[in-house]
Structure 1
């Protein structure tokens, strides 16, 4: 009897003809029991390109833990990111919006190509966040988005905007080079998205209002026990969604978009 929880992974791993597929998966950690479990792909946008995403590999590990503990077999894979905050004002910014499509396409490609039954996407920067959601909606498999979380404030509650303001102050002659370098060195203390209602935090709030992330995911710090728990709960949630066949198309509606729009306007 076909396991209704495994509509996609069963095509990849079941039966005589898929013996070579199973052989390759054993090399990445599968055992006999894993082939009988629903597979959940975890799309990590980790990279050291930007502080927004530098910790997401650790969050992916927690999502994997939650999914595995719930009876699934999780598989982590990566995609790219481009930082608007770093590339803006340079020719590199021409690639930013395009990267959204590349990220979305890459997530869709891996999930569909590898036959994952559910998906967790973890994003933390301006373009990879909507890309994650676009891929979830295209694939329409049980899935949850996890926000990478906001950064802690820097010294004297500085953030990236403090740096832009300091550049303006230096241009106006109201601070000197030494004061500028102090701001540069103390505004961004570690992992997380820019600390304010800028693109990433606004997008996270909208995604949560759409119903595609768990409650409070948009409000947690990147480096916190709450965010680790959010990732583990996402793993368990996707397994429940697989069991009930709950997909993004069952969640996203005209009303949920109105909720998201209202949150953004507020």
Structure 2
């Protein structure tokens, strides 16, 4: 029995049918399986701007395959619009609101399946978390990546180039006219950010996880293929409903490991660690995602490289075969028996895939000739990160894989940015930005601008930045984020002083404060917990119930 039959079939259920018929649904429509379309379209997010058209083609596919689509809206915040001000406090918490709202709509309406439409940083994991929580047939489909803009500083520009350029302007490296010119040329059209940030990382990992049709993750936003994938998704969700292939039959320990390996192999965003942890949590899996990242990063080669690690964008990755080519090249280390939303296994998908374009070899290499013999994301531990910190060595120069410097400390993102632009950060500094974790921020803001300003001022290869906050997937340079425990919970990052020596060692996976242990203990004993920055509303609640970054920043109601 389909879920929707409980309210749409039988003489006594006229009330529900009458309600839907008031919006034009017919008797025949209500005899079919009902598929919810969770659409995060808005005019706030370039990655979602084309989702009206994508949704229509999904509907066409559902109708064609004998189902009835019912579309509803989902919020979605653009990380870019939230950067550097109070709006960023809301970005990570919005992931939980997205998951909760989709769960609510699916249960209120008893949808038989869901198609999830969203492209950007917290929307993708929020939707996958909802799918894992609901355990009904679901397919995730993004709107596709943006084209790169005019060339600037040796690569195609994007909106982050504007922030780098502002740092260059402040250092007198470019003219105001050069800076202003980027405004109209950095982003030539809609789509998720053109580089391998968190948005495109999570779209690629949704495909690697098996929750998106092959090529559905990264076909360009403005391409005909994007619309073809939408209709095919509508058809395929009906097959999943018929065969009762639910989300938890796809999101398994094995498929999460496949996604972790894919992330490492392409040096995806560090935020993927937190989001895959949260998705596994919602699926009630026993996999320890952090430990898997730690162990697999030592043995998984990096065989794909994109901006910010080089000049090639995500669309270049797509033309070089994209996620299907990556999975094919990696298949000897993948768990290829895992089920996917094609209703076939990873192995069957690899064997049957037809590439639209010949391999260029510019973005994707082979396992025998990788860009690096270890993964592009690493988990660090040490006396400064007892519960871990996350870094992305695949995106920065190998000369920075061992960095020792002098701490310069800031208790907020804004204070650090002001100091960087004022020229107070110098070669050899380790910039410490704290009280920006899930609870302390609250919301674990991204230190995107701080890193971009360091780059713009020519300090990206001579300084480092560590934080209990996060980083944008576009950031490069020596950084460690997600430091746990966070400062607001009394983690050691709270008691670092200006002038302390800090060592970041990628090879040994260490992050250490070079201060005697007795001094660390004395400082921790003297530390006092700060007052929450928000005491009411959604953020007032969130800072009470959010878990640490090492736990995926999921909600832990036992914290109340």
**If the length of structure 2 is used for normalisation, what is the TM-score?**
0.46
The structural deviation recorded for 1:140 is: 0.8
Q: What is the number of equivalent residue pairs in this alignment?
A: 261
Equivalent residue number for residue 173 of structure 1: 172
Structure 2 residues without counterparts, runs of 5 or longer: 266-560
**Aligned position for 2:120:** 125
Aligned residue runs from structure 1 range 66-81, under 5 A: 66-81=61-76
- Deviations for 1:104-154, whole angstroms, at most 9, x for unmatched residues? 111111111011101000111101010110111111111100021101122
CA positional deviation for 1:199 = 0.6
Which structure has the higher relative contact order (CA within 8 Å, separation 6+)? 1
Q: Which residue of 1 aligns with 2:99?
A: 104
Cα distance in 2 between the residues matched to 1:120 and 1:186: 34
CA distance in 2, matches of 1:28, 1:58: 21
Aligned residue number for residue 58 of structure 1: 53
- Report the equivalent of 1:185: 184
Aligned to 2:197: 198
Aligned to 2:242: 243
Q: Distance in 1 between matches of 2:23 and 2:195?
A: 40
Which residue in the other structure is 2:5 paired with?
10
Match of 1:233 in 2: 232
1:93 maps to which residue? 88
Distance 2:61 2:250 in 1: 22
The answer on 1:26 being equivalent to 2:25 is: no
Which aligned runs of 4 or more in structure 1 are off by greater than 4 angstroms? Answer: none
Residue 36 of structure 2 is aligned to residue 41 of structure 1: yes
Offset of 1:218 from its aligned partner?
1.7
2:255 counterpart of 1:256: yes
| 1:169 to partner: Cα distance | 1.2
CA deviation after TM superposition for structure 1 residue 211, in Å: 0.5
Q: Which runs of 5+ in 1 are unaligned?
A: none
Per the TM alignment, residue 159 of structure 1 is displaced from its structure 2 partner at its CA by: 1.2
Secondary structure (helix, strand or coil) at the match of 1:121 reads strand
Give the C-alpha shift of residue 239 in structure 1. Answer: 0.2
Aligned-residue offset at 1:201: 0.8
List per-residue Cα deviations over 1:179-215 (Å, max 9, x = no partner). Answer: 1111122111221000011111111111111111101
Distance 1:88 1:155 in 2: 23
Quote how far apart the aligned CAs of 1:18 are.
1.9
For 1:110 and 1:190, locate their aligned partners in 2 and report how far apart those are by CA, in whole Å: 32
Q: 2:137 aligns with which of 138, 142, 148?
A: 142
Q: Flag the structure with larger Rg.
A: 2
Bigger fraction of residues in helix: 1
**What is the alpha-carbon distance in structure 2 between the residues aligned to residue 177 and residue 18 of structure 1?**
67
Offset of 1:161 from its aligned partner? 2.6
Alpha-carbon distance in structure 1 between the residues aligned to 2:45 and 2:194: 14
- Show CA shifts across 1:68-87 (max 9, x none): 11100001111101111111
Please tell me the root mean square deviation across aligned C-alpha atoms, in Å: 1.1
